[in-house]
Amino acid sequence: MQLAGLLVLILAAPAAPLPDKVSQLQWLAGAWEGDDGGTWNEEVWAAPRGGLMLAYHRDTRQGRAVGFEFLRIEETPAGLVYRPLPGGHAGTDFKLVEAGPGRAVFESGLEFPRRVLYWREGETLHARIEGTRAGKLASKEWVWRPVASDRKTAR
């Protein structure tokens, strides 16, 4: 087969269907933490159950809380939806638009963040937000490791 013919077959191949069950995002479950330039981040995701995954995120600096967020991923008739509630305020729905093994990309109609991405690289969890601020592309990324089961010190 010629290279051009192979390329046409690859491009014409149907995309894999997006996950429609939160159980397909089991890889996200767990307690994660990391240092973001002096701000300690924690994100804890409960295992999927009942069509729902719940989480919280907490930021602390110098022993004081400086931010928090409640999170959920929910099965809806339109597919999986990520719903962050920053600071406990009303949130915005982000629809799952792309997924693969250990990767999920959610998108909203906001300028920033427009996209929320999670992906695993081995034992590391990455999170990234992307969008536009003042007409320019902007992003922020976090890198977390699993919380050590024997860690009992407060930050």
pLDDT in tens, 21-33: 999 999 999 999 9
pLDDT of residue 150: 59
Q: How many CB atoms lie within 10 A of CB 113?
A: 22
Reply yes or no on whether the pLDDT at 12 is more than 90.
no
Per-residue pLDDT tens over the stretch 17-67 = 888 899 999 999 999 999 999 999 999 999 999 999 999 999 999 999 999
Task: Write the CATH number of the domain with boundaries 20-145.
Answer: 2.40.128.20
